[in-house]
């Protein structure tokens, strides 16, 4: 007999994603009352991360003087939130707990990206997954990394520690690279703007599919 959705490990991870999302909405709602600019920045950074713009999100925080601790912590929080949703929905869709066509199509695209790189990761195990998530390339990151970990049957703890450590390392590197440039070059604001634009352009199909899911 099948377990109910929230009694599965992936269902509990999904519940964690929902709770962290609600907390984020509360924080954004609070700042929407006391400081609209902060609320706008928090929302834009979330939007950037949703479509894979890790660097763009960090750049937005630096441009708005969030400081190192808040920038690193907030961007890491968002990545964890997104992984909770993406990983759990992928597994639950694979196991037929979720049967929504447009969600299944999105998960199929993620699966294809993961399959392309899983052998490279498999050769190095935990370290391979860590490096894959850390690398600043269009197809890398914690979402695809966690799905590769699932495909390789890496246990959940090792999978999430590798993706979490890789994500945190990447965020710290991006922050200090951007911070170094900001302190030395006035043109850095244009670099940030360029990064944001490139992130949006490279993810234009994902954004279109998210806003206007195809119906079959």
Question: Residue 84: inside a domain, yes or no?
Answer: yes
Question: Residue 98: inside a domain, yes or no?
Answer: yes
* Tokens standing for residue 136: 């600043």
Question: Residue 15: inside a domain, yes or no?
Answer: yes
pLDDT at site 216: 47
What is the pTM assigned to this prediction? 0.80
Does residue 64 have a pLDDT over 90?
no
Does residue 180 have a pLDDT over 80?
no
Angle CA 28–30–34, to nearest 5 = 115
pLDDT at site 190: 60
Q: How far apart are CA 195 and CA 80, in angstroms?
A: 22
CB contact at 8 A, 71 and 41? no
pLDDT at site 186: 54
CB contact at 8 A, 202 and 138? yes
CB contact at 8 A, 55 and 138? no
Q: How far apart are CA 45 and CA 49, in angstroms?
A: 6
Does residue 193 have a pLDDT over 90?
no
Mean pLDDT check: name the lowest of 19-28, 44-53, 102-111, 207-216: 207-216
In which band, very low, low, confident or very high, does the pLDDT at 211 lie, cut at 50, 70 and 90? very low
* Tokens standing for residue 117: 């790189």
Query: Of 10-24, 49-63, 114-128, which one has max mean pLDDT?
Result: 10-24
pLDDT average, residue stretch 92-105: 79
Does residue 49 have a pLDDT over 90?
no
Question: Residue 216: inside a domain, yes or no?
Answer: no
Mean pLDDT check: name the lowest of 4-8, 122-126, 129-133, 153-157: 4-8
What lies within 8 Å, CB to CB, of 99 at 6+ separation is 93
Question: Residue 115: inside a domain, yes or no?
Answer: yes
Q: What is the dihedral of CA 49, 164, 13, 1, to 10 degrees?
A: 130
Question: Residue 48: inside a domain, yes or no?
Answer: yes
- What is each CA distance from 210 to 1, 54, 84, in whole angstroms? 34, 18, 18
Question: Residue 204: inside a domain, yes or no?
Answer: yes
Report the share of the chain in percent with pLDDT over 70: 79
H or E segment to which residue 132 belongs: helix 125-134
What lies within 8 Å, CB to CB, of 124 at 6+ separation is 131
Report the share of the chain in percent with pLDDT over 90: 35
Based on the structure, what is the number of domains in the chain? 1
Which domain does 110 fall in, by range?
5-211
**Residues, the chain:** 216
Does residue 176 have a pLDDT over 90?
no
């Amino acid at each position: 007999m099948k377990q109910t959705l929230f009694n599965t490990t992936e269902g509990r991870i999904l519940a964690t994603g929902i709770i962290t999302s609600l907390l984020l909405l509360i924080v954004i709602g609070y700042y929407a009352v006391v400081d609209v600019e902060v609320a706008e920045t928090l929302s834009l950074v979330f939007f950037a991360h949703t479509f894979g713009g890790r660097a763009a999100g960090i750049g937005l925080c630096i441009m708005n003087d969030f400081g190192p601790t808040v920038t690193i912590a907030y961007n890491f929080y968002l990545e964890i939130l997104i992984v909770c949703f993406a990983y759990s929905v992928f597994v639950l869709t694979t196991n037929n707990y979720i049967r929504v066509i447009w969600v299944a199509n999105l998960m199929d695209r993620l699966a294809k990206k993961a399959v392309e790189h899983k052998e490279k990761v498999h050769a190095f195990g935990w370290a391979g997954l860590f490096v894959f998530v850390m690398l600043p390339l269009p197809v890398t990151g914690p979402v695809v990394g966690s799905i590769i970990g699932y495909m390789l049957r890496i246990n959940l703890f090792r999978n999430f520690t590798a993706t979490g450590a890789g994500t945190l390392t990447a965020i710290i590197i991006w922050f200090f690279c951007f911070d170094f440039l900001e302190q030395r070059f006035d043109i850095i604001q244009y670099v940030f703007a360029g990064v944001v634009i490139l992130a949006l352009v490279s993810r234009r199909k994902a954004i279109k599919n998210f806003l206007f899911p195809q119906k079959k």
